[in-house]
């Protein structure tokens, strides 16, 4: 059940959080995963327009946490406070939702990564399933109930062979545990909508890239290796076929997230809103073409090592049908891949202006 106040260890941050939650729009938004890539950018965009924004992140070390702390430090300069906490800390989640009058939740926190799920499956269940249920449990006890926009993933399409991927397609054949947890999120959301009247919108992101990105994702990790002169491991499908991805620039994803926040109706008793949308670039390209874009932006050729795709959860192709998001959210991706890569490399060069003298695994901001 909800508690009357926060655990003592969190009380010292209340004043800073109160300032961060001040709003000129009537919206006070809790964003989970503000130390992460998409959460960071969404927090900046929503705060800039006048929303009250609070963040929450557990700073897990799936990838080096230095860049997470850098993101959060940048958010603090922009007026966004981030609690260091876990979604499975129910009393604290209850406190934040009630103490700061949260009207919307943008649930972006997750244990990320398709392949890592083969090494630490329990972390995916704890973060992506248990954490999500805990968040919705806290929301259902609020009065009024917050509206919830949450991150799903293009990975839910799994072994689907019909392209482009549409929200009308079946998503019952996941190719990875990560995908299974994201499908579970969608099913759990439907359940909480049906039983408790929570208003929920799910967003299926397609391979996001851009400034402040995740070091484990291809655009970022390939850039590091090209600079170092190390070979890129490029997966191939049956018969040497090339993998294709619907790479989507972060600014386009943010416009979709903001639109979802704006369009979602209030949570009500009885029938309430529950929908899922694709957010992609609707222009899939081969991984080899992505490398060519990186080479042009960096001014250096990559060393390529083609290997068979291992059975760790990757799929041959992703391709987004975004017609539903276009119609109902006004979503329209506008960033061509080369333009987005150029912006990413410009940021990358600035972020590492001292040169690659520090490994990502040891980089810390202080």
Which residues have a catalytic role annotated?
178
Which residues have CB under 8 Å from 188's CB, separation 6+?
Answer: 129, 132, 133, 136
Instruction: Record the tokens describing residue 182, joined without a space.
Output: 């994201």
DSSP 224-284: HHHHHTPEEEEEE-GGGPBPEE--EEHHHHHHHHHHHHHHPPPP-SSS--EEEEEES-S--
What one-character-per-residue DSSP string does 109-169 give? -----SGGGGT-HHHHIIIIIIHHHHHHHHHHTSSSPPEEEEE--GGGGTT--SSSB-TTS
Strand pairing partners for 52?
A: 28
Tokens of 209: 């890239």
Identify which of 32, 152, 43, 41 has the alpha carbon closest to the alpha carbon of residue 92.
32
> What CA–CA distance (Å, rounded) separates 122 from 118?
10
H helix or E strand, kind and range, residue 91: helix 90-99
229: left (phi over 0), alpha (psi -120 to 50) or beta: left
> For the sheet containing 81-84, what is the strand order?
81-84, 52-57, 28-32, 104-107, 147-151, 200-205, 274-279
DSSP code of 202? E
């Amino acid at each position: 059940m909800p508690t009357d106040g926060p655990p003592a260890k969190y009380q010292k941050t209340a004043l800073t959080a109160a300032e961060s939650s001040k709003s000129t729009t009537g919206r006070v938004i809790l964003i989970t995963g503000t130390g992460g890539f998409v959460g960071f950018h969404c927090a900046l965009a929503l705060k800039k327009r006048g929303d009250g924004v609070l963040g929450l992140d557990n700073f897990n070390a799936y990838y080096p946490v230095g860049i997470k702390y850098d993101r959060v430090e940048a958010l603090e300069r922009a007026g966004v406070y981030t609690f260091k906490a876990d979604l499975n800390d129910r009393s604290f989640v209850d406190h934040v939702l009630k103490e700061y009058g949260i009207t919307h939740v943008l649930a972006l926190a997750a244990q990320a990564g398709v392949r890592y799920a083969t090494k630490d499956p329990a972390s995916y269940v704890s973060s992506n399933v248990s954490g999500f249920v805990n968040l919705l449990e806290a929301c259902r006890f609020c009065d009024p109930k917050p509206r919830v926009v949450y991150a799903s993933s293009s990975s839910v399409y799994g072994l689907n062979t019909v392209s482009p991927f549409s929200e009308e397609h079946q998503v019952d054949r996941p190719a990875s545990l990560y995908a299974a947890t994201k499908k579970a999120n969608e099913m759990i959301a439907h359940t909480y909508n049906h039983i408790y009247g929570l208003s929920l919108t799910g967003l299926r992101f397609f391979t996001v890239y851009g400034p402040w990105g995740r070091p484990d994702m291809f655009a970022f990790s390939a850039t590091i290796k090209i600079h170092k002169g190390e070979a890129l491991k490029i997966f191939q499908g049956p018969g040497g076929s090339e993998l294709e991805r619907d790479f989507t620039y972060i600014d386009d994803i943010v416009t979709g997230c903001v639109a979802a926040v704006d369009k979602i109706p209030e949570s009500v008793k009885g029938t309430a809103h529950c929908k899922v949308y694709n957010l992609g670039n609707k222009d899939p390209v081969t991984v080899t073409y992505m490398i060519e874009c990186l080479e042009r932006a960096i001014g250096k050729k990559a060393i390529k090592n083609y290997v068979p795709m291992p059975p760790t959860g990757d799929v041959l192709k992703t391709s987004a049908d975004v017609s539903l998001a276009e119609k109902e959210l006004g979503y329209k991706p506008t960033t061509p891949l080369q333009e987005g890569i150029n912006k990413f490399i410009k940021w990358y060069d600035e972020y590492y202006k001292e040169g690659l003298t520090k490994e990502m695994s040891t980089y810390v901001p202080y």
